[in-house]
Amino acid sequence: MNSRDRRIKDMKENVYEANIRLPKEGLVKLTWGNVSEVDYNYNVIVIKPSGVPYSSMKPEQMVVTDLNGNVLEGQYKPSSDLPTHVILYKHFKDIRSVVHTHSKYAVMWAQAHRDIPAYGTTHADTFYGPVPCTRDLTSEEIEQNYEVETGNVIVETFKNRLIESNAVPGVIVYGHGPFTWGNSVNKAVENSIVLEEIAEMALHTEMLTVYRHPQISNNLLDKHYLRKHGVNAYYGQVENSVRV
């Protein structure tokens, strides 16, 4: 087995394990979700097959495509959301994995056409500001190339609002649901878990405060985000060293 084949085998296992996590984490029901991984060295994407139940899914069923979404390996059709993943990989160059779910609380915000506000430090630890909700797709966009235009409207949202995809590793698509991403499949799934948690927390915050929904200060937002992700980040352990 050559290095490319070994890498693709590892990617299939990674993507399979990440997809299996989605129902375990309560993020999907039925077949409502997908995870992909990209490798720019070998110019391949691996993604979940379309409509295959999680209970019967196997690593070898994961579908291999090129960077344009053309199938290279596999007897199954790739996820119908593959074109959206392709667009995100083309425009958000630092990401290596994309996750899409229909998790309940994130979808509520998407259906309400509202950003998820940064109400607390749980939010700020991962998302450096509100999680944006995209605009509605036009009838033409829906009818002509729906999944591609879903990716395009995500990219448009981040461009127009001057949001960095690394600083806010997720979005909710109006009337549809959340997409998250990361520099690994595990990180992308973790960001989906966090997104669903903060979506639920934000909903209950608004229910409890009724008329007043104060977002956290910029100072507190900066502190919690930058202590994990900033140049002088100090949260967690230093690799290859031991703290005493």
Known catalytic residues?
Answer: 125, 235
Sign of CA dihedral 222, 223, 229, 231: positive
Using DSSP, state whether 103 is helix, strand or coil: coil
For residue 143 the two structure tokens come to 């009818």
Q: What are phi and psi of 146, to 5 degrees?
A: -55, -50
Q: Report the alpha-carbon distance of residue 244 to residue 232 in Å, rounded.
A: 20
Longest dimension (CA), the chain: 63
Q: Report the alpha-carbon distance of residue 75 to residue 92 in Å, rounded.
A: 29
**Side-by-side strand order, sheet with 44-47:** 71-73, 63-65, 44-47, 33-39, 97-101, 177-182, 170-173
Residues whose CB falls within 8 Å of the CB of residue 34, separated by 6 or more in sequence, listed in order: 19, 47, 48, 79, 81, 85, 99, 100
